Structure 1
């Protein structure tokens, strides 16, 4: 006779907005239901959105208490839609935003948020690849249309999105300069790129650039736009250094840089179509993504590292380890 599964599990619990989640050993173990797949988690990705939701400042709030983190990966435990034991990556369906997320030993996930991983996929990469890999690909290939021989500047070139944008631009045959904020970040830039530490003002660095992939934003953006040649392209991907920028519109009109913005909501169908190929390339080592690994009981340290900007790349919380 098969023993009944335990009634509780380990995981993270947000009991009040504005606090770091606590590690709990008595979370109710979820069950699969109609339209829902039960997943035994390998890892959950911890990102800035998860911190924003837990702070209570995000426009949508899950009912308290809740399990955080909207992205992750694991193995199907019970499902009417997916084979038992299949490795899946998880994203969508309001996970970690409108309902419980996946930072626990098990997660009950809406079927529409369950995606079969390609053969040979690495579970930890599957948990955290989607946002940085698809954002980088769409920025470099769809919006900037980077081609061989072009000169490309990538800001935040040591970060998750930036480092992948550097790699994709190099593979397209471009000459790439990666901007990093501090000297200690320079070794994290992928091989093959020229590294620039600090800001770009006017003719600084080795511009002019044909394209700018901007992951930093903030008050230094106008100077970086000035470093793009007239008729070049600047793609705004992120704004970790600040959300507000002052632009002199007559100067921008004269300089004539094509300013484009990455909207991942509008481009979600393209991103999901790219996902399997990008995860396969990452798992095979053709592309690399730095991953900082923490156990569930180290969640407070992971939370702090992300908040302080000390993460090398993506932060993942390992739930049950390798299968």
Structure 2
């Protein structure tokens, strides 16, 4: 089978190579999936560079989530059925940028019928992250104001849709007029182009000076720091990632004086420690997809042969929504 592999750490274009490798076989507790679509994520670039929190042994296949068809069951596995259409996170070092992938049976979930393969492939991590961040960590309530950074990106676009589905007023921050248009189409009530406007001033004006009740921040750096200038009394800042490249050092005295909470979110810990909670969230996301309240924005569907270029584009912040690779 064909599989992209990283033989040495570096930039995706240099580190990724399309190889011909044996089709893997599932072991006990595992299933073999024929990959129907793979989502491209910012962590894929970090994996290539050796900068991610997980460092799989070389060579490895990147790609952290997929929609697939069950091709075979390992010993002792009774479900899902062969032929079922499912979604799953990848089990590195055998990632999703390949024609087949082996994953633990316990993490496999039914693909929502309302979504096509590409949409289903990019639902899992981004929308699960948004669900746990907004509901489990921040306790977002109807009528509250949600500020979403990188609102036209893969993680941010999911938070915009989930925020609207929860009854919040959503303010989206983006970089450029094209991304502003996308954020509006996703449903953001107010959109701020950070290149042309000060989002702090816009948040204060929109909320009558109160500030944002919840901030969803996958960017870090200055986005985080300036968010503390417009956070509401008893507001909650959800730290999702550092796509901006800088990890901020929060002033805890400021959090104390202004009475707001800083909440970290590592979704993978829920998958490891509370898998039942992940399944419950998936059921709710499936319901929201069926109702039309959420639908992943897939801005491009690319052939598997363009994986290295796709990872490079996502890493450089040149995309809106999500990219998906198809066999």
TM-score by length of 2: 0.83
CA distance in 2, matches of 1:148, 1:212: 15
Of 79, 82, 103 in structure 2, the residue corresponding to residue 84 of structure 1 is 82
> d(CA) in 1 for partners of 2:192 and 2:212?
13
Counterpart of 1:195 in structure 2 is 191
2:1 is aligned with 1:12 = no
Q: Who is 1:5 aligned against?
A: none
Q: Is 1:66 aligned with 2:64?
A: no
Structure 2 counterpart of 1:28, from 13, 22, 46: 22
Larger Rg: 1
* Number of the residue aligned with 1:129: 123
- Alpha-carbon distance change, 29 to 192 in structure 1, aligned in 2, over 3 angstroms: closer
- Judging changes above 3 Å, is the alpha-carbon distance between structure 1 residues 232 and 39 closer, same or farther for their aligned structure 2 residues? closer
- Pick one of 271, 278, 293 that aligns with 2:301: 293
Contact 2:255 2:261 in 1 (8 A): no
d(CA) in 1 for partners of 2:218, 2:106: 29
| Aligned pair partner of 1:150 in 138, 144, 150 | 144
Larger deviation: 133-142 or 284-293? 284-293
Query: Aligned equivalents of 2:103 and 2:270: distance in 1?
Result: 23
Asked if structure 1 preserves the Cα contact closer than 8 Å seen for 2:148 and 2:160, the reply is yes
What are the Cα deviations for residues 50-105 of structure 1, in whole angstroms up to 9, with x where unaligned? 2222223445443433322231121111214331211121225xx22xx3223211
Distance 1:58 1:144 in 2: 25
Q: Is the 8 A contact 1:122 1:283 kept in 2?
A: no
2:267 matched to which residue of 1? 264
Residue deviations 1:172-191, cap 9 Å, x none?
22222111122221011112
Point out where structure 2 has 5 or more consecutive residues left out of the alignment: none
* Alpha-carbon distance, 1:284 to partner: 5.6
What is the DSSP-based 3-state SS (H/G/I as helix, E as strand, rest coil) of the residue aligned with 2:317? coil
CA distance in 2, matches of 1:287, 1:211: 20
Question: Which residue number in structure 2 is paired with residue 172 of structure 1?
Answer: 166
Higher helix share: 2
The equivalent residue for 1:228 is: 231
Q: Choose from 315, 318, 323 the match for 2:326.
A: 318
RMSD of aligned alpha carbons: 2.4
Question: In structure 1, what is the Cα distance between the partners aligned to 2:250 and 2:104?
Answer: 43
Question: Do the aligned partners of residues 33 and 176 (structure 1) sit closer, same or farther apart at CA in structure 2, a change above 3 Å counting?
Answer: closer
The CA distance in 2 between the partners of 1:110 and 1:209, in whole Å, is 40
- Structure 2 residue aligned with 1:212: 215
Kindly tell me the number of residue pairs found equivalent between the two proteins: 306
How far apart are the structure 1 equivalents of 2:122 and 2:29? 24
Displaced runs of 4+ in structure 1, greater than 6 A? Answer: none
Give me the whole-angstrom Cα distance separating, in 1, the residues matched to 2:146 and 2:107.
Answer: 35
What SS does structure 1 have at the residue aligned with 2:320? coil
Secondary structure of residue in 2 paired with 1:265: helix
Q: Please state how far the C-alpha of 1:204 moved relative to its aligned partner.
A: 5.5
Q: Give 1:45 shift.
A: 1.9
Contact 1:156 1:215 in 2 (8 A): yes
Tell me how far 1:248 sits from its aligned partner. 4.0
